[in-house]
């Protein structure tokens, strides 16, 4: 009998449940994981609660699977990140209305739906064409003139002819492999949706969602994509991953980089000391003098959480306490989405985004109005085919048009 | 309590943890999943969230999706190539390390070690080799300039990317299969081989008429393992190619190396169609079960009892 008792003891110990009274946060920026954990630990100590931070990044869908698994297991986090309308809809029944929170009046980029605020903007991010100012100066090109397709075309041709003199491999560092679909089918795609339109204008987006394609706009956009692909480093374009793409720019092997200000820490790690900034996308014939700036993701509070009050306080403290501000801006290096935060991030590209935003020269992010399915499984292969030269520009336009029409019929 | 009753009890108690785990993570999810395949289940908090029975809709939608059909085809091609490559390489290595080779134990360990590296990491390592190491060889060595040509990179086209996956799959798995062959070859009675030698049989004849037939049992096991593992390939697929590069099918651009398991995963978590992914997983299970039963049946008939 002793043996049996022993087995039972072991089973009991193993199955013993433990742990209660904690606040769980799941977020999608692994690059700030360490900083957020440190801040959350300090905040938790002050407020007498253990804050558990789970960070899961990656391309579209990155955090989704874990969130769904946790939801199915009845272990939904108290605070979780989502990136826009499509993911909001996925969790609509669970997201708490935050319209009455004190931070709402201090930001213009909170996530709103039907006039109510549902998402706390994590930061402000932006992308355009990141340029190496030193190389541009050497080639005698003023980045301020880069605001339209024709200006870019001339600049790219000139830079391409000076390759040896500048010591570059290619003009642009662009990635179009399937793994990097978020660069083409998310970020670049947004040029088609919002470039040159007033901030928050959804006319083009809604037309495309309804299957109505503005042929002229799409044609000009296709010219821009072709230009980028033509002057891109071909190895990086077809097979490069994030490291390869950012690395080529960081080491001065390309003049332009098609990424956003989140590459600042990577550039710092690679000891890139040259002067840099953002120039607008040249996806149109007309001048489009602005870059794409918005909140990349939002924190939502789980309606069914037992710690709603604490979760609200956690978000509010980020905005209103010096420790919270210090964490957001200096530790995590993010551009604050709130007025009254008087700190500035150190990265050059982040500063450039702030300058564009301060000047009011910004275009919105509308790509999240399209489903992940549409962007990653329909558009990504089209861009990839075009990049590999397997389809012509005319076919690209045709396939894009067809994709929008099919999408509208679903 | 009698001695016998106690030992029966101990038997079941020791079995309980494993049985519990098996029921919880295999049996229940299997039946629950099969049930969800016939519903509109999403595992999220959408506004119209009520669980509804939708009949065969998920199956019909799956079969109408060119990407799913393509994944089926490409998975068959990959499985056949991978089975052949792994078994040929593994058998050759096994012959090598059972022969009169110095340091053969070192070789055995060396060939086996890749199997201990996780598939995700392996995929990233080989991605680096294919995308960075090989092209730099091309720039360093004069005669090999074509290696650096971006159009000729293995991972830049879907057909060669599939070949790249076979290379990585073989590299990962051949050592493990080799161990099974080594055990089988070492179990062949030496007197048979000696008798054949005295009769003047050449090395090739000895291999063809003695070694291979007597390894038939090993072949049943290795074929089964490589078949199932290739068919279920997921981790190397994700990290090495993410399903790319793209290709065209029925006038629609689709992912060119998206094997079935990855297609199911993407359907579930990128397209947010969990119940449709369940339906695909169910089809996947049925097909794999039927193929493996046929394979084991065919192989079993070739086995020889000594």
Please tell me the distance from the alpha carbon of residue B157 to that of residue B151, in angstroms, as a whole number: 8
Alpha-carbon distance B246 to B152, whole Å? 16
Domain, as residue range, for B168: 59-301
The arithmetic mean of pLDDT across residues B274-290, rounded, is: 93
Could you say which of A61, A239, A244 has the minimum Cβ distance to residue B270?
Answer: A61
Q: Given a cut of 90, is residue B148 above it in pLDDT?
A: no
**B9 C-beta neighbours (distance < 10 Å), count:** 15
Chain A residues near residue B269 by CB distance under 8 angstroms: 61, 64-65, 68
Binned at pLDDT 50, 70 and 90, residue B146 comes out as confident
DSSP string for A355-410: HHHHTT-EE---GGGS-HHIIIIIIHHHHHHHHTTSS-HHHHHHHHHHHHHHHHH-
pLDDT in tens, B97-108: 998 888 888 999
* Count of the separate structural domains present in chain B: 1
Residue B279 reports pLDDT greater than 60: yes
Question: Chain A interface, mutation test: which of B13, B44, B126, most A Cβ atoms within 10 Å?
Answer: B44
The lowest-confidence range among A222-226, A303-307, B142-146, B258-262 is B142-146
| Paired sense of beta strands A276-279 and A172-173, if any | unpaired
Separation of alpha carbons A281 and A148, rounded Å = 7
Decide: helix, strand or coil at residue A62. Answer: coil
Which parts of chain B fold into alpha helices (H)?
Answer: 3-22, 28-36, 57-64, 66-98, 104-112, 119-128, 134-140, 158-186, 190-198, 203-206, 212-214, 216-231, 235-240, 260-269, 274-301
In a domain, B11, yes or no: no
Flag residues of chain A having pLDDT under 70: 1-20, 58-62
Going by C-beta distance under 8 Å and a sequence separation of 6 or more, which residues neighbour residue B35?
none
> pLDDT at position A65, please?
82
Q: What is the mean pLDDT of residues B141-157?
A: 82
Which residue(s) pair with A243 in the sheet? none
Q: Is residue B243 part of a domain?
A: yes
Where do the domains of chain A lie, and which CATH numbers do they carry?
2-124+295-360 (3.40.190.10), 126-293+370-409 (3.40.190.10)
Yes or no: say if B252 and B68 are a contact pair by the CB < 8 Å rule.
Answer: no
**Which of A 160-199 lie inside 8 A of B, CB atoms?**
177-179
What's the CA gap between B161 and B240, in Å, rounded? 9
Tell if the CB–CB gap between A7 and B272 is shorter than 8 Å.
no
Assigned domain for B4 exists = no
Q: Are A47 and A36 in contact (CB under 8 A)?
A: no
Is B52 domain-assigned?
Answer: no
Q: Interior CA angle at B195 toward B190 and B196, to 5°? A: 100
Confidence of residue B304 (pLDDT cuts 50, 70, 90): low
For the stretch B156-213, pLDDT in tens is 888 999 999 999 999 999 999 999 999 999 999 989 889 998 998 888 998 988 899 8
Q: Tens digit of pLDDT for each residue in B39-87?
A: 988 877 776 667 888 889 999 999 998 899 999 999 999 999 999 999 9
Verify whether the Cβ–Cβ distance B246 to A380 is below 8 Å. Answer: yes
C-alpha span between A143 and A137 (Å, rounded): 9
Query: Among B64, B61, B71, which residue's Cα sits nearest to residue B276?
Result: B61
Angle between helices B216-231 and B158-186 (to 10 degrees): 150
**Bridge pairing between strands A111-113 and B252-255:** unpaired
Residue B24 lies in a domain: no
- A81 beta partners: A299
Based on C-alpha coordinates, what's the Rg of chain A? 23
* The pLDDT of residue A60: 46
B55 C-beta neighbours (distance < 10 Å), count: 10
Q: What pairing do the DSSP bridges indicate for beta strands A116-121 and A298-301?
A: antiparallel
CATH no. for residue B110? 1.10.3720.10
DSSP assigned state of B155? G
Cα gap B201→B27, rounded to integer Å: 53
What pLDDT, in 10s, does the model give residues A158-212? 999 999 999 999 999 999 999 899 999 999 999 999 999 999 899 999 999 999 9
What's the distance, Cα to Cα, between the start and end of chain B in Å?
46
Neighbour count for residue A393 (Cβ, 10 Å): 14
Binding-face residues of A in 213-242 toward B, CB within 8 A: 234-235, 237-241
CB nearest A71 (choices: B1, B44, B272): B44
Closest Cα of chain A to B242: distance in Å? 5
Q: How far apart are CA B39 and CA A249, in angstroms?
A: 49
In a domain, B39, yes or no: no
Residues 6+ apart with CB under 8 A from A94: A76, A300, A302, A303, A304, B45
Q: In whole angstroms, what is the distance from residue A308 CA to residue B295 CA?
A: 57
Tell me if B213 is assigned to some domain: yes
User: Does residue B137 surpass a pLDDT of 90?
Assistant: no
């Amino acid at each position: 009998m002793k043996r049996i008792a022993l087995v039972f003891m072991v089973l009991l110990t193993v199955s013993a449940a433990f742990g209660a009274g904690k606040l769980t946060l799941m977020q999608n920026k692994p690059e700030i994981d360490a900083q957020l954990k440190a801040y959350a630990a300090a905040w938790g100590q002050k407020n007498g609660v253990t804050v558990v931070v789970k960070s899961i990044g990656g391309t579209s869908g990155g955090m989704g699977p874990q969130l769904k698994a946790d939801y199915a297991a009845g272990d939904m986090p108290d605070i979780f990140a989502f990136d826009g309308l499509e993911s909001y809809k996925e969790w609509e029944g669970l997201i708490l209305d935050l319209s009455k929170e004190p931070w709402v009046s201090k930001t213009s980029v909170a996530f709103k739906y039907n006039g109510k605020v549902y998402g706390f903007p994590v930061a402000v991010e932006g992308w355009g064409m990141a340029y190496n100012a030193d190389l541009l100066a050497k080639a005698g090109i003023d980045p301020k003139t880069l605001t339209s397709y024709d200006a870019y075309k001339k600049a790219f041709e000139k830079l391409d002819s000076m390759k040896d003199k500048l010591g570059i491999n290619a003009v642009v560092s662009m990635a179009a492999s399937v793994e990097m679909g978020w660069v083409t089918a998310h970020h670049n795609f947004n040029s088609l949706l919002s470039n040159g339109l007033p901030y928050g204008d959804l006319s083009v987006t809604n037309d495309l969602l309804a299957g109505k394609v503005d042929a002229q706009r799409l044609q000009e956009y296709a010219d821009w994509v072709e230009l980028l692909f033509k002057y891109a480093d071909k190895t990086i374009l077809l097979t490069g991953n994030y490291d390869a793409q950012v690395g080529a720019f960081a080491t001065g092997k390309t003049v332009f980089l098609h990424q956003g200000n989140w590459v600042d820490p990577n550039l710092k790690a690679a000891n890139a000391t040259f002067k840099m900034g953002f120039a607008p996308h040249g996806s149109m014939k007309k001048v489009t003098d602005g870059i794409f700036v918005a909140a990349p993701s939002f924190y939502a509070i789980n309606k069914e959480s037992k710690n709603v009050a604490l979760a609200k306080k956690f978000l509010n403290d980020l905005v209103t306490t010096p420790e919270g501000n210090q964490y957001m801006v200096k530790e995590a290096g993010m551009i604050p989405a709130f007025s009254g935060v008087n700190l500035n991030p150190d990265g050059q590209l982040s500063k450039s985004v702030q300058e564009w935003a301060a000047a009011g020269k910004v275009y919105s992010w509308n790509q999240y109005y399209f489903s992940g399915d549409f962007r990653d499984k329909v558009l990504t292969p089209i861009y990839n085919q075009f990049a590999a030269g397997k389809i012509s520009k005319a076919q690209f336009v045709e396939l894009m048009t067809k994709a929008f029409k099919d999408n509208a019929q679903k | 309590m009698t001695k016998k009753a106690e030992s029966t009890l101990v038997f079941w108690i020791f079995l309980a943890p494993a049985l519990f785990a098996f029921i919880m993570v295999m049996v229940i999810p299997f039946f629950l999943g099969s049930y969800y395949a016939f519903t509109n289940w999403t595992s999220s908090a959408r506004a119209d969230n009520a669980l509804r029975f939708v009949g065969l809709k998920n199956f019909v939608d799956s079969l109408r999706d060119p990407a799913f059909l393509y994944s089926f085809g490409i998975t068959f091609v990959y499985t056949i190539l991978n089975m052949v490559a792994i078994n040929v390489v593994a058998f050759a290595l096994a012959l090598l390390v059972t022969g009169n080779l110095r340091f053969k134990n070192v070789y055995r360990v060396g060939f086996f070690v890749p199997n201990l590296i996780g598939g995700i990491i392996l995929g990233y390592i080989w991605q680096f080799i294919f995308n960075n190491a090989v092209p730099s060889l091309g720039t360093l060595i004069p005669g090999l300039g074509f290696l650096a040509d971006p159009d000729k990179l293995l991972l830049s086209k879907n057909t060669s990317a599939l070949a790249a996956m076979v290379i990585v799959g073989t590299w990962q798995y051949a050592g493990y299969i080799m161990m099974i062959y080594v055990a089988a070859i070492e179990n062949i009675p030496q007197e048979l081989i000696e008798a054949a030698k005295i009769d003047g049989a050449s090395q090739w004849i000895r291999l063809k008429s003695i070694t291979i037939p007597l390894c038939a049992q090993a072949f049943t096991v290795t074929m089964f393992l490589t078949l199932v593992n290739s068919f279920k390939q997921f981790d190397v697929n994700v990290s090495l190619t993410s399903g790319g590069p793209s290709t065209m099918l029925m006038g629609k651009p689709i992912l060119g190396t998206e094997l079935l398991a990855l297609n199911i995963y993407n359907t579930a978590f990128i397209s947010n169609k969990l119940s449709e992914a369940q339906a695909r997983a169910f089809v996947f299970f049925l097909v794999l079960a039927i193929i493996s039963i046929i394979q084991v049946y065919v192989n079993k008939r070739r086995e020889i009892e000594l």
